[in-house]
Structure 1
Amino acid sequence: MTETPDAPGREPDLPARVTIYEVGPRDGLQNESGLVPTAAKAEFVRRLLAAGLPVVEATSFVHPRWVPQLADAGELLDLLAADLGDTARELPVLVPNERGLDRALERGCRHVAVFGSATETFAQRNLNRSFEEQFAMFEPTVRRARDAGADVRAYLSMCFGDPWEGPVPIDQVVAAGRRMLDLGASQLSLGDTIGVGTAGHVRALLAAFDDAGLGSDVLAVHFHDTYGQALANAHAALQHGITTFDASAGGLGGCPYAESATGNLATEDLVWLLRGLGVETGVDLDALVATSTWMAGVLGRPSPSRVVQALSPAG
């Protein structure tokens, strides 16, 4: 069994348990230039579930022209349904618009996500919509998903900084986040898409959401590690009471629409931090490291996760 740190000085008032929202199969792989075989993606999802990840986002029903890596979304879900049965319907998928929602509902998906922007420029580049127009685009998608009995999560990108606009005002992020939740999303994931956030900025943003009446029960955080701040930012969010953390196995990922976006917070690194703080995750770290080591072999390069590197000679 892997040695992990104990928690001799557990901080008071931390959540006893958190949910890790695993985004490796979707956000982690979407920016890979070489196409990963569909069977390998299915195996990746199966291994992550077996390692105890409670939520694994499987794919995105985005147009293949925009993200070629995810062109096999339907085939992937069919493979998973054949192996996992009804469990496959519980795997979240990203739906950029109503057509994507149609494809998800055709396969019985019960959890979908939409992806918005806190800034004008990224909305234009990522969604081909203005900042205002994006909400009109999302409204029928969210409404129809909820009418079909599906839960809807909302991602909000560029919550800390934008490569074209610079620092993003906190009140602008809160206003955009409120509008996403008002559409009917049950959870809002705040994304540091280019990894420029710091712990102080995280605390200030979460406090502003509190002041707006949007507390930790409806928020999640999604950090990138461009400047090595993802774990510090996760710790700050944890101290604030956040209990849902997005992470990507092996630290895979980036953003195909923002060249300065590097890898996501590695799930293994997050689990190591949380174990050291005495916070439960339900994740088998040994199985997770083995999974990321295997995926590194599929991709043909080492995992950027420090914990994977430390615990696996092939990491």
Structure 2
Amino acid sequence: MTVRELGLPVTATAPGLPDRVTIWEVGPRDGLQNEDTVVPVDVKLEFIDRLADAGLTTIEATSFVHPKWVPQLADAEDLLARLSTRDGVAYPVLVPNERGLDRALAAGIRHIAIFASATETFANRNLNRTRDSQLTMFEPVVTRAVAEGLDVRGYVSMSFGDPWEGAVDPAAVVSVGRRLLDMGISQLSLGDTIGVATAGQVSALLGAFAEAGTSVDHLAVHFHDTYGQALTNTLEALRHGVTTVDSSAGGLGGCPYAESATGNLATEDLVWLLDGLGVSTGVDLDSLADTSAWMAERLGRPSPSRVVRALRG
């Protein structure tokens, strides 16, 4: 039986939550880029199409990071050339620099994302830049993209904890985030890259952005479930007015910076929570679970998502 036929999850609304949440699906990019082996492009295309069928309206399709660094997504141009887009669905692409933007423009992409760090060490290790010089690198990317009419999102990684520097000062995150917003990005996604955040930290960081004059409408959250806190942290963000949440179908994606990291918040687990709270997403949970179970078969291992395991065994 389906969850709808079983009447699950039971809906009990709670005060102070948004009526609707947009799910920013990162599985095809952030999830598959962490696979040990390259997933065939035909499988990726079917995965993306199935996610759209399930009702997801923002599906991060791939990345224009150099294939040397992310060989799993070296097929970006081929995938985008063959992708069957549909009205009402956005297919953002991650770009690291101006060369990545050139590739995105050549592919006809209208939505891009850039990836910055809140900490000095990770900026150096991930981008071979200082915290300040990474922003100098991104400025012409954002300026050109906005001039071309593209929508630009910014990620800020290590927003809560860094494996080398420890706890991250909210002021450091606000500093990087504000500079990206001032460049012209439309949305800032606050990333708990190693999954160490707690609800109190989420409240403090969102409060710090509010004090700096940043509207919560410009903020999204991206939690990893390393310590089992992703849903708790998401609920705290919703209580602060956040209405865009990143997640990955089936919980795809690991974190190479923390032992035992279980990867991204699973989209099914998120939808179960939101359905139970009466918060609309437009996503069909059964269809989504079928999609993640299908992908797990192609990857040759069970889905990390608790909801997928509960519904599909």
Establish whether TM, by shorter chain, passes 0.5: yes
Q: Residue 93 of structure 1 aligns with which residue?
A: 93
* Aligned partner letter, 2:166: G
How many aligned residue pairs are there? 308
> 2:169 and 2:85 mapped to 1: Cα distance?
44
Deviation per residue, 1:223-262 (Å, 9 max, x gap):
0000000000001001111000000000011345x35454
Mark the CA change 1:143 to 1:67 in structure 2 (over 3 Å): closer, same or farther.
same
One of 12, 15, 18 as aligned partner of 2:15 = 12
Q: Residue 84 of structure 1 aligns with which residue?
A: 85
Q: What TM-score does the superposition give when structure 1 sets the normalisation length?
A: 0.95
One of 48, 52, 57 as aligned partner of 1:49 = 52
* Aligned partner letter, 1:32: E
Alignment of 1:233-312 (within 5 A): 233-255=233-255, 258-260=257-259, 261-312=261-312
* Aligned partner letter, 1:46: D
Mark the CA change 1:167 to 1:157 in structure 2 (over 3 Å): closer, same or farther.
same
Q: CA deviation at 1:311?
A: 0.1
Q: Residue 223 of structure 2 aligns with which residue?
A: 223
> 2:309 and 2:87 mapped to 1: Cα distance?
35
Q: CA deviation at 1:86?
A: 7.2
> 1:57 and 1:136 mapped to 2: Cα distance?
25
Alignment of 1:190-205 (within 5 A): 190-205=190-205
SS at match of 1:6: coil
> 1:263 and 1:101 mapped to 2: Cα distance?
27
Q: CA deviation at 1:215?
A: 2.1
Q: CA deviation at 1:180?
A: 1.1
Q: Residue 177 of structure 2 aligns with which residue?
A: 177
Q: CA deviation at 1:84?
A: 3.1
> 2:20 and 2:86 mapped to 1: Cα distance?
28
One of 32, 37, 46 as aligned partner of 1:34 = 37
Q: CA deviation at 1:79?
A: 1.2
Q: Residue 61 of structure 1 aligns with which residue?
A: 64
SS at match of 2:113: strand
SS at match of 1:30: helix
For structure 1, the residue ranges without an aligned partner over 5 or more in a row are none
Q: What is the root-mean-square deviation in Å for CA atoms of aligned residues?
A: 1.3
1:24 aligns with 2:27: yes
Asked if the contact 1:224–1:264 (Cα under 8 Å) also holds between the matched residues in 2, the reply is yes
